[in-house]
Amino acid sequence: MTDVAVIGAGMAGLVCAQQLSQAGYSVLVLEKSRGLGGRVATRRLHNTCADHGVCYLKPKGELLKRFVELLSRHHILEVWTNEPEPNYIAPQGMSAIAKFLAQNLEISLNQRVETITPIDNKWRLTFESSDEELTAASVVVAIPAPQAFTLLAPLGDFVNKAFLDNLRSIEFYPSLAVMAGYPADSQPLPKWKALTFVDNPDLAWIGLDSSKRHNSQQPLFVIQSSADFAQRYLESLDLDPAAQQMLQSASQIVQLSWLATPEWMQVHRWRYAFPRNPWDKAFLSAESFLPLVCCGDWCGGNLVEGAMLSGLAAAEEINNQMRNVPLSGLNFLEFLN
């Protein structure tokens, strides 16, 4: 039996796992996908890579500032744009951040948790793709609230009714991300590296993703849709028409006609991109007989730093319900140093 099972290897889950692991708990992180980081994501494609989720970090609070400084010392991050404040990117892809944060953790990828059941004063977890079972003294659910509700609703009366009602109340905005590559001789290249669109019906952001890479061989853009646009196409089986419309809109706005005709393109659907109505606390506890806590970017804020702070808060709550050993709020950074 493990002390803590953390479901979800996004930033909140990884921070929580590091904090508890360094406090002496045995921790196992379970992730349904094949990669780490959640929306801090990078896709490998056409002999390069593209950041199709979180595209940069802009540190404001003390935690993220210290984390960015640490990643910069390890040559994982560097400044991308510097006006009005520095935005940091990872030349090897933003997923390098999660890989660094995951070091020394026990992580099981491609492992979707199907059920969580209380049995004999512990949690029993079963999996969608295998007959294996896991028992844990406590569980941290670090996934989007709608997915957490689907997983935990069968617990019924074992958890506080208000807990499930609060989980069910959290809604998300969707987003579509288009990654588009162009011939090496495409001209003219823009002087800007990224643009944010305000009140545009189709688009939210565009970035020259290839400007993040050292020795990039071809222009590569990442374009993110508005929430309303993504909602219209969210259930479409074929997202290529939506992607083409986004490219056409972007080419007109930035006045680059060749942007509408990429050499290749891919599109990704983020069903749970940004919380519409974040929970107003840093974590959500089931207040059950066995420790069960939810965390994520939907707790207290929708940015990377909010997710990290939520992971720290969840770790502290699990610790309070278990051994109550001394925890330092930032000690996981010192361990990774």
Structural element, H or E, at residue 135? strand 133-141
**What's the pTM value of the predicted model, to 2 decimals?**
0.95
- DSSP assignment of 199-210: S-SSEEEEEEGG
Backbone phi and psi for residue 106, each to the nearest 5 degrees, phi listed first: -90, 115
Q: Are 42 and 93 in contact (CB under 8 A)?
A: yes
The DSSP 8-state label assigned to residue 1 in this structure reads -
Tokens of 5: 């099972």
In order of their start, the domains of the chain are: 2-41+94-171+277-336 (3.50.50.60), 172-275 (3.90.660.10)
CA 287 to chain centroid, in Å, comes to 26
The pLDDT of residue 254: 97
Amino acid at 238: D
The pLDDT of residue 330: 52
The DSSP 8-state label assigned to residue 158 in this structure reads G
Tokens of 186: 């495409």
Cα 135 to Cα 139: distance, rounded to the nearest angstrom:
10
Question: SS3 for 331?
Answer: helix
Q: Using one digit for the tens of pLDDT, what is the confidence trace for 119-135?
A: 999 999 999 988 889 99
Cα 259 to Cα 244: distance, rounded to the nearest angstrom:
10
Q: Are 295 and 10 in contact (CB under 8 A)?
A: no
**In terms of residues, how long is the chain?**
337
Give me the residues paired with residue 107 across strands. 29
The DSSP 8-state label assigned to residue 232 in this structure reads H
The pLDDT of residue 281: 97
Q: At what angle do helices 304-321 and 11-22 cross, to 10 degrees?
A: 40
Q: Which residues in the chain come in under a pLDDT of 50? A: none
Of the candidates 59, 53, 106, 60, the one whose C-alpha atom is nearest the C-alpha of residue 80 is 59
The pLDDT of residue 328: 62
Q: Over the range 49-59, which residues count as b (16 or more CB within 10 Å of their CB) and which as e?
A: bbbbbbbbbeb
Amino acid at 211: S
Give me the residues paired with residue 43 across strands. 50
Site of tokens 């853009």: 221
Of the candidates 180, 189, 196, the one whose C-alpha atom is nearest the C-alpha of residue 255 is 189
The pLDDT of residue 325: 81
Q: Which residues contact 45 (CB under 8 A, 6 or more apart)?
A: 179, 181, 266
